Amino acid sequence: MNKITSRTAALALTLLCLAYSVSGFAQGARTYPDKPVRIIVGYSPGGLPDTIARVVAQRLGEVWKQQVIVDNRPGANGLVGAEAVARSAPDGYTLLVTDNSTHAIHPFLYAKMPFDPNKELIPVSMTAKAPLYLAVHNSLPAGTMQEMIALVKANPGKYSYGSSGIGSTHQLAMESLKATLGLDIVHVPYKGTGQSVPALVGGQVQMAFSGYTSLAAHVKDGRIKLLGITSPTRSPTAPNVPAIAEMIPGYDFAPTFGFFSPAGLPRDIVSKIGSDVADAIKSADVAARFANLDIIAIGGTGEEFAVALKADAERYSKAVKMSGAKAE
């Protein structure tokens, strides 16, 4: 009888602990966040991931009534920041905003990854997409894509392009263009668009891909020209700039951006963060700010982000192979 009583008591205690745990998770979602939240961006200030993180962070801070801090940790095309989040405590107070390179480029670029993004990071919300523009220095005697192509073919190896690093979307977009059209353009890798765009403006390189926000002021003052855009269609922000897909069907190197959390974060908190981020993206003020910056607001779920990342990985892996890019 004592053994039965003991087993019954143990079972009751187990059920009680389980109920308390479930209740605790639910309570966690209801009270989250109750302290400042840190958003890590694996790129330098001023680029698209940083811009998106700061716009959304401001809105989340208003909704959550907590400080939301953007922490830039550039390095290895966003990999340094991503690893920092993967190694952080899964409590919802350290999040990652990045482009699709963590899942769609890095696994094919690095012979050995320091962590497994598909297992150690959870897609929380698909936030936005933003096209990249092919910009050329004003001294380049080409005002259209066709003229640029003819000029490069007549002068193989004479011209160079800057990128934000080996294996970056900027490099892959250009290498895909080069391979498809048979162009010989020298690659000069920099540490982010904070370096590659000034190099373009200063004439150290003749071409570069970058987001509209990094280029707009230099276009206005006549230092650079925009010849093409990496999204499948033209942008309302610059409708006279043709989509490269008009020349190369299927060409699409417009990065996807989103929020991630470390693996192990309770699902109810993941859902709350994802829902709050999506609501922030769809709010009138954030949507308007994104539109002014030529950023396409999405506000999708983590599940939708996971599907998009898988599709991106299939496309970008081919571009990595085509470029021959390798990173240590």
**Tens of pLDDT, residues 74-122:** 888 889 999 999 999 999 999 999 999 999 999 998 888 999 999 999 9
Whole-angstrom Cα distance, residue 291 to residue 282?
12
Range of 10-14, 28-32, 72-76, 157-161 with top mean pLDDT:
157-161
Which residue has tokens 């890590």? Answer: 40
* Whether residue 277 sits in one domain with residue 226: no
Task: Using the predicted structure, report yes or no on whether residue 11 has a pLDDT greater than 60.
Answer: no
* Whether residue 124 sits in one domain with residue 36: yes
Whole-angstrom Cα distance, residue 20 to residue 28?
12
* Whether residue 238 sits in one domain with residue 141: yes
Element spanning 56, H or E: helix 48-64
Question: What residues have CB less than 8 Å from 197, skipping those under 6 apart?
Answer: 162, 208, 210, 214, 215, 218
- Residue 21 pLDDT level (bands cut at 50, 70, 90): very low
In a domain, 328, yes or no: no
Task: Using the predicted structure, report yes or no on whether residue 173 has a pLDDT greater than 60.
Answer: yes
* Whether residue 106 sits in one domain with residue 144: no
In a domain, 286, yes or no: yes
Is residue 85 within 8 Å of 96, Cβ to Cβ?
Answer: yes
In a domain, 15, yes or no: yes
What integer best gives the mean pLDDT of the chain?
90
* Whether residue 142 sits in one domain with residue 225: yes
Rg (CA), the chain: 23
| pLDDT at position 165 | 85
* Residue 152, domain CATH: 3.40.190.10
| pLDDT at position 319 | 86
Is the N-terminal amide bond of 255 cis, ω within 30° of 0?
A: no
Whole-angstrom Cα distance, residue 209 to residue 205?
11
Pick the residue with more confidence: 229 or 24? 229
The gap from C-alpha 98 to its chain's centroid, in whole angstroms, comes to 4
Element spanning 9, H or E: helix 2-31
Is residue 26 within 8 Å of 19, Cβ to Cβ?
Answer: no
Final residue of a domain: which of 246, 280, 301?
246
In a domain, 172, yes or no: yes
Length of the chain: 328
Q: What percent of the chain has pLDDT over 90?
A: 77
- Residue 193 pLDDT level (bands cut at 50, 70, 90): confident
| Residue 48 CB-density burial (10 A; 0-12 exposed, 13-18 middle, 19+ buried) | buried
Taking residues 253-266, report their average pLDDT.
96
Q: Give the ranges where 71-184 is alpha helix by DSSP (H).
A: 79-86, 101-104, 106-109, 117-120, 145-154, 169-181
| pLDDT at position 25 | 45
DSSP class of residue 246 equals G
* Residue 288, domain CATH: 3.40.190.150
Q: What percent of the chain has pLDDT over 70?
A: 91
* Whether residue 297 sits in one domain with residue 218: no
Task: Using the predicted structure, report yes or no on whether residue 13 has a pLDDT greater than 80.
Answer: no
Domain that holds residue 273: 32-130+255-323
| pLDDT at position 192 | 80
Whole-angstrom Cα distance, residue 326 to residue 277?
34
- Residue 249 pLDDT level (bands cut at 50, 70, 90): very high
3-class secondary-structure state, position 293: coil
- Residue 4 pLDDT level (bands cut at 50, 70, 90): very low
Taking residues 120-126, report their average pLDDT.
97
Burial call 242-271: b when 16+ CB within 10 Å, e when fewer: bbbbeeeeebbbbbbbbbbbbeebbebbbe
Whole-angstrom Cα distance, residue 305 to residue 16?
36
- Residue 8 pLDDT level (bands cut at 50, 70, 90): low
In a domain, 195, yes or no: yes
Task: Using the predicted structure, report yes or no on whether residue 20 has a pLDDT greater than 70.
Answer: no
Task: Using the predicted structure, report yes or no on whether residue 1 has a pLDDT greater than 50.
Answer: no
* Whether residue 262 sits in one domain with residue 121: yes
Task: Using the predicted structure, report yes or no on whether residue 57 has a pLDDT greater than 80.
Answer: yes
* Whether residue 261 sits in one domain with residue 126: yes
Element spanning 140, H or E: none
Whole-angstrom Cα distance, residue 262 to residue 308?
19
In degrees to the nearest 10, what's the CA dihedral of 144, 147, 151, 154? 160
Q: 266-315: per-residue pLDDT in tens?
A: 999 999 999 999 999 999 999 999 999 999 999 999 999 999 999 999 88
* Whether residue 180 sits in one domain with residue 161: yes
Q: 205-227: per-residue pLDDT in tens?
A: 999 999 998 899 999 999 999 99
| pLDDT at position 276 | 97
* Whether residue 314 sits in one domain with residue 295: yes
Element spanning 7, H or E: helix 2-31
* Count of CB atoms situated within 10 Å of the CB of 32: 20
| pLDDT at position 328 | 63
Structure-token pair, residue 90: 């899964």
- The reported pTM is 0.83
Number of domains in the chain: 3
DSSP class of residue 243 equals B
| pLDDT at position 28 | 67
Final residue of a domain: which of 246, 272, 301?
246
